[in-house]
Amino acid sequence: MTQPAHDLSKLAINRDAPPAGVRKAFRTALLLAVVGLVIVAGAMALLRRGGTVAVEVATVAASGGGTAGAGRGVSVVANGYVVARTKASVSAKVAGRLAFLGVSEGSHVQSGDVIARLESAEYQAGVSEAEANAASARATQIEAETDRDQLLREARRARDLRTQNTNLVSAQDVEAAESRAAQAEARVRAQVARVQAAEAGLRLAQANLDNTVIRAPFTGTVLRKEAEVGEVVAPSVGGGLTRGAVVTMADLRTLEVEVDVNEAYIARIRSGQGARITLDAYPDTTFRGTTRQVVPTADRQRATVQVKVSILDRDPRILPEMGAKVEFMEDPAAAGQQAAPRIVVPAAAVRTEGGSPVVWMVRDGRLAVRGVDAGPVSGGFREIRRGLAGGEVVVVVGPEVLKAGQRVTIGRPAAPQ
């Protein structure tokens, strides 16, 4: 009796078709991933269109620089430093080792006061030697004058005797006596010249000794000590351990501010023009000033002209080399003739996009861009010739890339420059 044959193909596992549960889970995961990508893409698009960024702003004002710029009535703003018109590096006239230094930083000295002394033993010895030479030359002169006087008397006596009686003295003897007297006179003149030379040498030695004493060339204040006792100083720096100057001093009564004004605005500045000075050290205090000089040459590298402004309000807080901002005031007559107000914004508010200057403004919490015609930078500000009317709020500090319509949050106002 034969056994029925079994169909083993029914026992084979189909690995190409996943189970139904796996297929369902895969479809669910795929759907969730697609939804997630859509959400992320939408969020990124939303951020690109209206993401909030933090910026710092300044309000534009006509005829000035708004909250961050110059006030009304200001023609030009420029930055510079306080300098002393009368200033000197005081050095020794002769080389030597510093033996005494009688001043320090801040010392007030009068013209002619002794500042320092050099070691002077060799110069004192030179004076003594010159005095001895002069005394010796004067003694020799007296001796030569005595001999001359004696020979002159002998020559006169010989002539008188020859006149009374030609047989007493011969003509040859008279001529010899007169010749000796003339030679004696020449020796006296030569010795007088030697005396003058010795006295000149004495004066030179005395001047060298006096030059070991260093005196103040003018009344002023010592700003820096350039050398200390024991160091070798000389009229000019010779390298090594040699010092050139002993002290640097200045007359603080001659303090003024030197600023570099962009040559595009130099026509607005004239000698005698009023100015307002603000020191970086005291930003809340202003000092009155007046334009003393517009230097008649320009710096071709920086396209600026130097202007010197005298400080009218004297204050002990004003010190040389302090940073300062100068606001040159408008001429009232010229300001009355202007048809349109001046618009000035901080230089950082003007950006370049597509090769053209633009400013970004904030309106209703969103950004807007506007093309402008901007002048050159002067004192940290730029004049807007066309594009703004005043009252706009412009971005001074913010991200490098800004987009129109983007929401903004306004941080602290831009500090005055």
45's tokens: 């698009």
How far apart (Å, rounded) are the C-alpha atoms in residues 148 and 283?
84
Q: Are 354 and 371 in contact (CB under 8 A)?
A: no
**Alpha-carbon gap, residue 206 to 130, rounded angstroms:** 9
User: Tokens standing for 263?
Assistant: 């040559």
Separation of CA 32 from chain center: 68
**Residues whose CB falls within 8 Å of the CB of residue 170, separated by 6 or more in sequence, listed in order:** 162
pLDDT of 402 reads 81
Say if CB 312 and CB 275 are below 8 A apart. no
SS3 393: strand
Tens-digit pLDDT profile for the chain (417 aa)? Answer: 455 555 555 555 555 555 556 566 667 777 777 777 767 665 565 555 556 778 787 887 665 444 444 444 677 889 999 999 999 999 988 889 999 999 999 999 999 999 999 999 999 999 999 999 999 999 999 999 999 999 999 889 888 888 888 888 888 888 898 899 899 999 999 999 999 999 999 999 999 999 999 999 999 999 999 989 999 888 865 555 566 789 999 999 999 999 999 888 898 899 999 999 999 999 889 999 999 999 999 998 988 999 999 999 888 899 999 999 999 987 655 444 444 567 778 888 888 887 888 888 888 788 888 888 887 777 677 778 777 877 788 888 888 788 888 787 877 554 444
C-alpha–C-alpha distance, residues 406 and 367, integer Å: 5
Helix 121-164 vs helix 171-210: angle between axes, to the nearest 10 degrees? 160
Q: Which long-range contacts (CB under 8 A, 24 or more apart) does 19-22 make?
A: none
Three-state DSSP state, 412:
coil
Residue 55's nearest CA partner among 350, 361, 344 is 361
| C-beta atoms surrounding 284 within 10 Å | 6
Pairing label, strands 408-410, 53-59: parallel
Separation CA 193–CA 199 (nearest Å) = 10
